[in-house]
Amino acid sequence: MNLYLATDHRGHTIEKELIQNLKKYLDVNIITSQLPHSPEDDYVDFALDVLNRMDKSKDIAVVICGNGIGMSIIANKVRDIRCARVTTIDEAVAAREHNGANAIALGTTNISKMTKLILAFINTPLPTEARHLRRISKIIKYEHGEYNEL
């Protein structure tokens, strides 16, 4: 598994410290966007850069912008990405455990909270309960044009 990290200009200011914190707890390859940052950059470009490079079946992405909303919206436009904007440990765990999310979106909060949210997400196993798997299957089928049973 690789961890893909995308930040806009607001998240870029904390990116190096966040990576250092994560490497204290994880033995994982962290891949970031190599696009240049500026105060006028667009979060869309950074998200698409990493999300389109990751292996959606085994990698995880963390996308960070001012409040996480924009990043979560663009992430969910990428085929086979299930991204949740999370603000609490419970949300991070549920995103992974109930929805099989392979990405989370965060706002630029303090580093220790971010690190805890990311670790909770990564350390939560994917869903195994039939009800969660059924729902995820419907999402994937709809995304691929194979489900419209409303």
What confidence tier does 110 reach under pLDDT thresholds 50, 70, 90? Answer: confident
Q: Is residue 98 annotated as part of the catalytic site, yes or no? A: yes
Question: What is the per-residue pLDDT for 18?
Answer: 94
CATH level 3 topology of 2-143 = Ribose 5-phosphate Isomerase B; Chain: A, (3.40.1400)
Question: What is the per-residue pLDDT for 46?
Answer: 95
C-alpha–C-alpha distance, residues 43 and 11, integer Å: 10
C-alpha–C-alpha distance, residues 93 and 130, integer Å: 17
Looking at per-residue pLDDT, the higher value among 149 and 34 belongs to 34
Question: Active-site residue among 9, 37, 98, 132?
Answer: 98
Strands 29-32 and 2-7, by their bridges, are parallel
How many CA within 13 A on the CB side of residue 76?
A: 16
**Mean of pLDDT values over 3-7:** 97
Q: Locate the domains of the chain by residue range.
A: 2-143
C-alpha–C-alpha distance, residues 146 and 7, integer Å: 33
Listed in sequence order, the residues at least 6 apart from 32 whose beta carbon sits closer than 8 Å to its beta carbon are 4, 5, 6, 7, 15, 19, 50
Question: What is the per-residue pLDDT for 135?
Answer: 95
**Mean of pLDDT values over 27-51:** 92
Question: Active-site residue among 9, 12, 37, 65?
Answer: 65
* CA torsion, ordered 82, 124, 104, 77, to nearest 10 deg: -10
Q: Is residue 37 annotated as part of the catalytic site, yes or no? A: no
Largest Cα–Cα separation, the chain: 47
Question: What is the per-residue pLDDT for 116?
Answer: 95
pLDDT in tens, 42-74: 999 999 999 999 999 999 999 999 999 999 999
Question: What is the per-residue pLDDT for 80?
Answer: 97
**Mean of pLDDT values over 115-123:** 97
Q: Give the total residue count for the chain.
A: 150
- Cβ neighbourhood burial of 82 (10 Å; 0-12, 13-18, 19+): buried
**Mean of pLDDT values over 76-95:** 97
